[in-house]
Amino acid sequence: MPTSPLRSLLIAVVVSGALAPAARALNPDRTLTQCFHRIWQVEQGLPQGSIYALRQSSTGYIYVGTQAGLVRFDGARFVAVRDRDAILADDHLWVRDLVEDANERFWIATDSDGLIALDGNVARRFTLRDGLPSDEIRCLLLDRQGTLWVGTTAGLARRDGSRFVPVEPKPGFPHAVLALCQSNDGRIWAAGDNRLMVYAQQWSAQPLKSIGAEASIEALLGAADGSVWIGGSHGLVRWADGVERIFTKSDGLAGNSIYCLGQGADGSIWAGSQEGFSRLNRGMIDNFRKRDGLSQSSVYALIEDREGSLWVGTKHGLNEFSDRRTVPYTVNEGLPSNDAGPVLQDSSGDVWIGTLNAGLARRSSRGFASLTTEDGLPSNTILALASSAQGDLWVGTDRGVCQMRKRKIVAHYTTDDGLPSEQILCLACDASGDVWAGTAAGLVRLQGRQWTRSLDEPALRDPVQALDVDARGWLTIATDRGGLLRQTEGKLTVLIPAASGARNISSFFDDPDGTLWVGTRGDGLKAFHDDKTFTYTVSDGLYDDDIFGLVGDDHDRLWMACSKGLFYVTRSDLRRYADRELERVTSTPFSPLDAQRTVECQEGVQPAVCKSNDGKVWFSTIRGVLVVDPQQLKRELPPTPVVVEEVIVNGTSRAPDQVRSIAPGQANLEFRYTALSYVALPRIAFRYKLEGFDEDWIEAGQRREAFYTNLPPGDYRFRVGATNIDQIFHEAKAPLAFSIEPRLYQRPWFLPAVATVIALAGWVGYRLRMQQIHSHLQLVVTERARIARELHDTLMQGFSGVTMQMQALAARLPESQERDTLAEIIRDAGASLRDARRSIAGLRASQSNASGLEVAIAQAARQIAEMHDVRLRLELQPVRVPLASDVEYNLFRIAQEAITNAVKHSQGRNVEVRMQVDRGALRISVADDGIGLAASAATAASTGHYGLIGMRERAMQIGATLELGPSPQGGTQVSVTLPLADRDREETSNPRSHAPAAGASATEL
């Protein structure tokens, strides 16, 4: 502890500590031993234990410089920093110092490998060839103008463009520059050995009187108040306006050999030494050493991060110090013992803490004052405390009761004074000044100087577990076998029998609304109000069923001490749950991070919890006392940066900015993300969402990876955020947008294109097949036509000639039996000729049931037209009614003859052939635009043709009507009309109706 003049000096010199806001800095009202302390060593993933440089980057990472390279830390994982060209991959790269410039480029000072500039993943090394005085770099300084100064073992250099310019040595300039800083007035300070130089326009020596010539200087700090702090082998010197003041161990520093210096946001001066580190603030020096839990004594680097936590690097690990939401008091803070007992604030405002092995302690602004058996206590085991309205403090021990007045013991009571047992389990004082003592052998009351059983009931002779006197003066008692009892106006009533679950009661709290809250060991929390009892257990949402003490604060919270630590539940939630308005109560526990490494409240002491007049809640634990301020449960922290560090695509690692378009088939992705907040890391919870795939947010807890497999092609956005200790959600600034390209068959146009190709191929195949079938059919039809022609030109012509000769013979014979016989032969021959014609017509007809007449007429018309220079138009309607073969044949011949006549004799340019079925009749017409009916008939007669006569005879033979007339085009039109009704019936009933006329020539047939 500094002396009074030193205290005044510190108050004066650390002005910034008194004036600067204390936000985001360690609370100066707490000792360093009250901070939450965590250590990372090789066992926790730190690649190398010796740390010589620390720096928090602008992005929020903690960079750790070790003897084995540079390491990046996000609070959960240590990652060795590597570059594209593996310059930083050397396991023997000893990092001495780190700075970051305005372009987020890191400058790395190494012990023997020169200066390395790291820009992203690209590193460049600077050595003697680039103008540095030496490759052994000891310190770096980036001044306010952005100029980089490099201190080496062979002098100082300044960066000028892409090269470094050595500073020309001046008289008194240190050969090895070990420390650099810039003071508040802009001057550059350089030190090494016992020499100190200052640069302002030019270098000049600054002699130090407070340290000897043999001292070396290893650390410099330009403070916010304009002073310069100088750390060396002989202590810490503050220099201001030419006035020096040295601090050493005799003034309270942890050690005299200062290795590093830093300044906190509240103006505190941090000094790391070979024996721990020190904080100078508000006239006080506070230390933290190896015996306090530091990973190792030698502190080579320290920084304060933007959340106010202090990071300390030693030879054996990384240490973090941060404020808790609780304030611990242990032997480090002066408590006589960590095995705490009852805790109570008396009517005068003093807070008393009993211990189970070191007597009684009183908390004061200067620390703790202790009372033990040497001060008159009958025992150092304190089990119960109570305060009377008259200002007396009553102390229950395992050897009787003590009465204290004005912080002095004035009386001691034992079994000689009427106590049934000297083991005092609980105490209570009523408004009238009466004192009640619950002992291991029952309940007694102090009357005068004698303890008596004023309530002599059998149930009150058992061990008394808890006592309470409320504002109405009602005494509530819990005994081992008697259950929960209440004494009002001298009358004792049973509130809850022991058989109904009132055993193992440990504590009471009287709510101002009249509710009696009862804590039990193993049976949870009970509420007694208006003769109704309700029980809350772990199954209802309670944090623990073992409740050792409870008290209510001024913010509707009911605080409870339990076997797993401490927690609170809002009383309104408890009431709403009892009224069935809530499905479950919500407990808010305080983890070891908020309290101590091991949190377990003390059992079997009364009271185990108390609320002081300032609203704070005090808890007795097996490792000292914890104090919670309900008004300061939340810390004002900066937004938590959440970043995506890496994306692994099908097993290949990529930087997030390299994942914009992913090739087809690479559908397995792993996202690795982190939150750059170092306060209460176990209470940071992540959630993420892949837009385009996930419909809702995925709660990931503390997991820092997200996995997706077999993602379909498409556009996606990966979003991730974290909830900090105050349950405030912060999302990464920009979602990671990317797309997975589809394979060829996954593109939108692929299926329509395939369907089109298949349809086209089907259509082409169909057309080819139809052409094949048509060609085959043409071959069949051609062969059938050839056979029909052969039969017609040979057999039919011969047969017709024979028939005509027999008809001529029959005409010359007189009437006789032979003529009749010959006529019969002629008729049989005619019938055979008709049968032959039907066969020939069948060869020419279509294979279907419908008539093939239109096909035959069309082929004949085209053949005739192709031989003459005429234009042919066909409008042939298929005949769906089957026609007899001789009928089709004669119709075909009529049409053929009419077409021939139109082409040969009309001298027209256009011929139109029509066939249609209308009103039960088949009509075939041939029209031309030639010279007309009379002229064409005369032309035909002059050439010796009798086709018209033959057409009429054929029409009459099949029962059709032949008409000739002018055509609409001005030429001639020949039409034949055949009724279709009953054709088959007539043919069957009159087989002779189709015999050729007697005058028909063989050629016309």
Q: What is the mean pLDDT of residues 578-584?
A: 92
- Report residue 30: phi and psi, to 5°: -110, 150
Reading the block at residue 787, the tokens are 């056979």
CA-to-CA dists, residue 733 to 133, 347, 440, 706, 722, angstroms: 43, 54, 63, 18, 12
For the segment 546-550, the average pLDDT, to the nearest whole number, is: 94
Q: What does the pLDDT read at residue 2?
A: 39
Residue 933 pLDDT: 65
Question: Is 997 within 8 Å of 953 (Cβ atoms)?
Answer: yes
Q: What percent of the chain clears pLDDT 90, i.e. is strictly above it?
A: 54
| Cβ–Cβ < 8 Å for 292, 33 | yes
Amino acid at 955: A
- Determine contact, residues 144/160, Cβ cutoff 8 Å: no
Q: Could you give the CA distance from residue 10 to residue 29 in angstroms, rounded to a whole number?
A: 16
Q: Tell me the C-alpha distance between 103 and 768, whole Å.
A: 72
Place of tokens 């004061």: 364
**360 — pLDDT class (breaks 50, 70, 90):** very high
910-918 and 871-876 beta bridge pairing:
parallel
Rounded mean pLDDT of 343-365?
92
Choice between 790 and 754, residue whose per-residue pLDDT is larger: 754
Report residue 16: phi and psi, to 5°.
Answer: -60, -30
Q: Which range is most confident: 92-96, 473-477, 599-603, 681-685?
A: 92-96
> Strand 106-110 and strand 95-100: pairing?
antiparallel
The angle, 0 to 180 degrees and rounded to 10, between the axes of the packed helices 885-905 and 853-866 is 20
Q: Which helix (H) or strand (E) holds 602?
A: none
**Other CB atoms within 10 Å distance of the CB of residue 179:** 27
pLDDT tens for 229-280 read 999 999 999 999 989 999 999 999 999 999 999 999 999 999 999 999 999 9
Distance CA 334, CA 624 (A): 10
Q: Per the structure block, which two tokens stand in for 703? A: 């997991």
Q: What is the mean pLDDT of residues 874-898?
A: 84
300 within 8 A of 286, measured Cβ to Cβ = no
Residue 226 near residue 185, CB atoms below 8 Å: yes
Poorest-pLDDT segment among 592-601, 755-764, 911-920: 592-601
Question: For 519-533, what is the mean pLDDT?
Answer: 89
Whole-model pTM over 0.75 = no
Instruction: Give me the residue label for tokens 């036509």.
Output: 785
Tell whether omega for the bond before 641 is within 30 degrees of 0, i.e. cis: no
C-alpha angle 798-801-803 in degrees, rounded to nearest 5:
110
- 34-58 burial, b at 16+ Cβ within 10 Å, e below that, comes to bbbbbbbbeeeebbbbbbbbbbbee
Structure tokens at 862: 């085209």
Terminus-to-terminus CA distance in the chain, angstroms? 148
pLDDT of residue 607: 95
Q: One-letter amino acid identity for 293?
A: G
Give the residue from 146, 138, 128 showing the smallest Cα distance to 190: 138
Please tell me the predicted confidence (pLDDT) of residue 884.
78
pLDDT, tens digit (0-9, with 9 covering 90-100), for 88-126: 988 889 999 999 999 999 999 999 999 999 998 899 999
* Rounded Cα distance, 702 and 698, in Å: 12
* Range 133-145 average pLDDT: 95
Q: In the structure encoding, which two tokens stand for residue 609, read together?
A: 């919890």
User: 122: which residues sit within 8 A by CB, 6+ positions away?
Assistant: 83, 84, 85
Beta-ladder partners of 191:
179, 196
Residues pairing with 920 in the sheet:
none
Token digits for 554? 């001024």
If one counts every other C-beta atom within 10 angstroms of the C-beta of residue 734, the result is 11
**In this model, does residue 323 exceed pLDDT 50?**
yes
Rounded CA separation 348/69 (Å): 59
Q: 810: exposed, middle or buried (C-beta count within 10 Å: 0-12, 13-18, 19+)? A: middle
* Element spanning 680, H or E: none
Instruction: Supply the pLDDT for residue 837.
Output: 67
What mean pLDDT do residues 287-291 have?
Answer: 95
SS3 739: strand
Tell me the residue type at 452: T
pLDDT tier at 9, thresholds 50, 70, 90:
very low
**Lowest-confidence region among 41-55, 190-204, 378-392, 753-767:** 190-204
Q: Are residues 338 and 379 in contact, defined by beta-carbon separation less than 8 angstroms?
A: no
Give the burial class of 498: count Cβ atoms within 10 A of its Cβ; 0-12 exposed, 13-18 middle, 19 or more buried. Answer: buried
pLDDT of residue 608: 95
Structure tokens, 640 = 């938590």
- So what's the pLDDT on residue 982? 52
Q: Which of 243-257, 518-532, 944-958, 975-989 has the lowest mean pLDDT?
A: 975-989
142: amino acid identity, one letter:
L
Name beta bridge partners: 966: 972
CA distances from 422 to 160, 387, 873, 995 (A): 83, 19, 136, 153
Placement of tokens 């009427």 in the chain: 418
3-state secondary structure of 589: strand
Q: Which pLDDT does position 562 carry in this prediction?
A: 93
pLDDT at residue 30 above 80?
yes
Query: Is residue 129 pLDDT above 60, yes or no?
Result: yes
Q: Is the dihedral of CA 535, 538, 541, 542 positive or negative?
A: positive
Mean confidence (pLDDT) of the chain: 85
Cα distance between residue 930 and residue 947, in whole Å: 18
The confidence score (pLDDT) of residue 700 equals 93
Give CA–CA dist 392/433, Å, rounded. 10
Split at pLDDT 50, 70, 90, the class of 866 is: confident
Tokens 């310059």 found at: 87
Per DSSP (E only), the strands in 243-297 are 243-247, 258-263, 269-273, 276-281, 284-288
Lowest mean pLDDT among 84-93, 318-327, 674-683, 801-810: 801-810
Beta bridge partners of 412: 402
Q: Residues 746-765: what's their mean pLDDT?
A: 91
- Predicted confidence (pLDDT) per residue in 158-205, tens digit: 998 888 999 988 887 888 999 999 999 999 999 988 788 898 888 888
* 894-901 average pLDDT score: 88
Strand order in the sheet with 235-240: 217-222, 228-232, 235-240, 243-247
- For residue 425, give both structure tokens: 């389990």
Q: What is the pLDDT of residues 974-985, one digit of tens each?
A: 999 999 865 443
Residue keyed to tokens 């509530």: 476
Percent of the chain at pLDDT above 70?
90
Query: CA-to-CA distance for 975 and 38, rounded, in angstroms?
Result: 117
Residues in a beta bridge with 477: 467, 485
Q: List, edge to edge, every strand of the sheet that includes 921-928.
A: 871-876, 910-918, 921-928, 972-979, 961-966
Query: What does the pLDDT read at residue 847?
Result: 44
At residue 11, the pLDDT reads 38
What are the φ and ψ backbone dihedral angles of 217, each rounded to 5 degrees?
Answer: -110, 125
